[in-house]
Structure 1
């Protein structure tokens, strides 16, 4: 169940990143509300995942996977350029996530 909670937390953290980018420094009220609500939900599910993950590992997984997700969503839907350097960075992050998982997370 901890991986499900972490997955939900990552999805909502990706939503935070997208919404915050559209909130225009919290001047756009609907996107600001979406940012805050998504952030609260993401944090809630992260806290559930951290009941079984080590805090450092769980938090690192959450932020890393959400960061990769935001880059991919930006490339697919927001017309952001996906360069070879970004792809290399994604590969390094995924390698780090695998390494943390192999080190024992739960």
Structure 2
């Protein structure tokens, strides 16, 4: 169940990043509200996952997978360029997450 909680936390953390970009420095109320609500939900589900995961491992996986998701969505939907160096960085992050998983994290 902890992996499900972590997955939900990742989805909402991605929503935080996207909505924070749209909030334009918290000057747009609707996007600001979405940012804060998504952040609260992401943090709640992360805290549930951390009942099973080591804090360092759970947090590292959460931030890493969220970051990869944001980069991919940025390239697919927001016209952000996915250069070879970004692609290589994403591959390294994915490799690190796999390594943490293989280390016996939850």
Q: Which category of TM-score, normalised to the shorter sequence, fits these structures?
A: over 0.9
Taking the aligned partners of 2:4 and 2:46, their CA distance within structure 1 comes to 10
Shift of 1:95: 0.5
Distance in 2 (alpha carbons) for counterparts of 1:30 and 1:78: 19
Tell me, which stretches of 5 or more residues in structure 1 are unaligned?
none
2:37 is paired with a residue whose SS is: helix
For structure 2, the residue ranges without an aligned partner over 5 or more in a row are none
Q: Give, in whole Å, the separation in 2 of the partners of 1:70 and 1:18.
A: 8
Deviation of 1:76 (Å) = 0.5
The equivalent residue for 1:7 is 7
Runs of 4+ in structure 1 over 2 Å off: none
**TM-score, reference length from structure 2:** 0.98
Task: State the shift of 1:103 in Å.
Answer: 1.2
Q: CA deviation at 1:102?
A: 1.1
Count of residue correspondences: 106
The two structures, once aligned, show a CA RMSD in angstroms of 0.5
CA distance in 1, matches of 2:17, 2:104: 28
Structure 1: how far apart are the matches of 2:85 and 2:20?
24
1:68 matched residue in structure 2 = 68
Deviation at 1:104, TM superposition (A): 1.6
1:16-65 CA distance string (max 9 Å, x none): 00000111111111110000000000000000000100000000000000
